[in-house]
Structure 1
């Protein structure tokens, strides 16, 4: 499999990729295609099995997602520290092998109809996922220019989407054919899951052999020397009072934590909501989900470019308000076509604001970049453990609409956390974009 992630050049393109990324950047991104093959199929089918086939409660479904994030919480509590101290390539490979092993566990649990086995495998999946993503995101940051950091993560999302689409088409094709001829044969119905596991093993080995983690991005056209010496870069910057700076940190990271709870509060229940209120045909719903991944894949690099240039305050406010409105429209949609369109809009909004956040976080510190990604992952993991559990309880005890309505109010309430936090911290981040702004003025 050979896929190019370089953007097609147009007449407007004036900046070569060598001024944006290292020569081996595409090799870094390549692993994501293989790693993401099972993302959609596994999440969709496990959710379908637990809620619809095994007739479990919404709270039990929430436990599946909570175990994933519990595993992620444990691994993210130390992997960020390790990513700044030992080989990131080794951590990525271990994470890929962990994900692959968890897929085999899920497959065996399905064959034996073991909900506890699903939970154990979900926990291992979470451990492997954060062992994979935190050091990989650190490598992506090191191999990309600070001016095109969101574009780099847009390419990351592009690769993820390609793998997701390929894996989804293959997985549901096998599932659909098996359902038509041997519907009771779980061995064949879900036989693609161990194939996803093997793909993760292959990706980890390939990454280890092809990527040079010592090759970091060098700025060719700027008087930037030794960016790793952070004190030299910020020595002339006025420093805010300690309490004021601490307030910015608390607000920003509290926002990430509460936002993670909020996402977990409603996101896992979109699929059951659609199956119970719009269309009960799981196969048909899955094919309507697919365009959201396809379109997200196609536009991810463009969204990354947009996030590199967008005002973070305007982007966050606009995305939060529009995202809440779209969520309300989703739970009031009348058919699958409208639902699919709204989900595309919702995913587009989430991708763009995520690129804005990861751009900012990757520039806060160079020496401690892995620790920052790890800390965010810890907070998000705790939030994603709490969120699905609370959402499932609200679904079961209040109404099926309640998790979505509550999430919209929380999303809007979190806007000041991010705006004020970024406002306080932005002037004092290590990788400032002032050089680019100044050069554009001259």
Structure 2
């Protein structure tokens, strides 16, 4: 079981390299190309739109053609996306690269989730999801390190081109890794795929919780960096360094957090994780130093990992072996709708109520989610001690 998951390490890690630096560098590079604020924010909105459009189709393809072919396509699309980013000199090319990235993200998510569902024992789902989470975080961390090195001796524009060319080449290498080392995991299921059967009442309750969680967690998306710049410093690099400890912690501890969730019950792990995030969101406006902010980021990140791996564990257990790809596409679409609504709410509050309001609303919303988990999600496991 472990070997089946470790084979995913290189493809997931290599295609995740730009994720950590994208939020910092993409707006800067886009602005250098002469794009206005609406065009730049549109780059982030179009990603969610592409995910919503493509995931139902990809889910069906994953169930029909298998996990491995879809994973190969994902790595190829990531390589194409990063190459277009490297040569992009117009807004049209930047948007084209973003569209390819959106399709690649959808195919990667559904294929890897489906592989985990196929190859993992029921009581180890959270550990497996934590492992994948760790691979992504490690990739993001390595990408930040590579970007820091390259941008230290090149101009920003030259560094951007070189950076994404490297990311593209490494994504091509990940295609080779998938072809050579990852077997097809799709099970031959004799029972006909019945989506309505899989969409049980409990599954729908969980999807409501997923939707609300994605809204609450994304409320801070468009305003968090603006708030930090207003309160602390305009030095983006300094804020990035404050974020590094959280990224390192996520990379090192995700697998262990997943194992903790498997042992101590994913229902209560969900509640504990979301409450940690709620508390951190509420007290963040009171932080008065970069050091305190870095500590809060670490705690919030680890709480988010605990919640996310536990949530995926419950969902995977609910959907069974039939229509895995389609059911994960439904899960992802629910997430994407939440991630579209949250930023709009946060931006409106930040501009029209107060700069602290998005933090307080996000925390309050998370507390409501914790209560709903306690009420609506009945299934749990008893904490087991080795």
Answer whether TM exceeds 0.5 for this pair.
yes
Pairing of 1:128-139 with structure 2 (within 5 A): 128-139=104-115
- Is 1:97 the counterpart of 2:76? The answer is yes
**Aligned pair partner of 1:282 in 233, 236, 252:** 236
Superposed CA RMSD in Å reads: 3.0
- The residue that corresponds to 1:368 in the other structure is 323
Per the normalisation by structure 1, the TM-score is 0.77
**Number of residues of Structure 1 aligned to a counterpart in Structure 2:** 379
Pairing of 1:52-71 with structure 2 (within 5 A): 57=37, 62-71=41-50
- Is 1:88 the counterpart of 2:71? The answer is no
Query: How far, CA to CA, are the matches of 1:38 and 1:322 in structure 2?
Result: 28
Q: 1:128 to 1:44 in 2, by over 3 A?
A: same
**Aligned pair partner of 2:174 in 191, 203, 208:** 203
Tell me the CA shift for residue 86 of structure 1.
Answer: 0.9
Pairing of 1:299-338 with structure 2 (within 5 A): 299-338=253-292
Comparing 95-104 and 390-399, the one that deviates more:
390-399
Tell me the CA shift for residue 54 of structure 1.
Answer: 7.2
Could you give the per-residue CA deviations for residues 12-56 of structure 1, whole angstroms, max 9, x where no partner exists? Answer: xxxxxxxxx164432123311211111101222124556899796
- The residue that corresponds to 1:354 in the other structure is 308
Query: How far, CA to CA, are the matches of 2:343 and 2:260 in structure 1?
Result: 31
**Aligned pair partner of 1:166 in 129, 142, 151:** 142
- Is 1:293 the counterpart of 2:221? The answer is no
Tell me the CA shift for residue 106 of structure 1.
Answer: 3.2
**Aligned pair partner of 1:255 in 186, 209, 212:** 209
Gaps of 5+ in 2: none
Per the normalisation by structure 2, the TM-score is 0.87
Could you give the per-residue CA deviations for residues 174-195 of structure 1, whole angstroms, max 9, x where no partner exists? Answer: 11332xxx4xx51235520221
Pairing of 1:217-296 with structure 2 (within 5 A): 247-296=201-250
Comparing 351-360 and 27-36, the one that deviates more:
27-36
Indicate if the aligned counterparts of 1:104 and 1:194 stay in contact, CA closer than 8 A: yes
- Is 1:343 the counterpart of 2:314? The answer is no
- Structure in which a larger fraction of residues adopt helix: 2
3-state DSSP class of the match of 1:331? helix
Query: How far, CA to CA, are the matches of 1:312 and 1:141 in structure 2?
Result: 16
**Aligned pair partner of 1:31 in 1, 8, 11:** 11
Gaps of 5+ in 1: 1-20, 217-225, 232-241, 428-432
Q: 1:89 to 1:382 in 2, by over 3 A?
A: same
Indicate if the aligned counterparts of 1:150 and 1:307 stay in contact, CA closer than 8 A: yes
Q: Larger Rg: 1 or 2?
A: 1
Indicate if the aligned counterparts of 1:257 and 1:379 stay in contact, CA closer than 8 A: yes
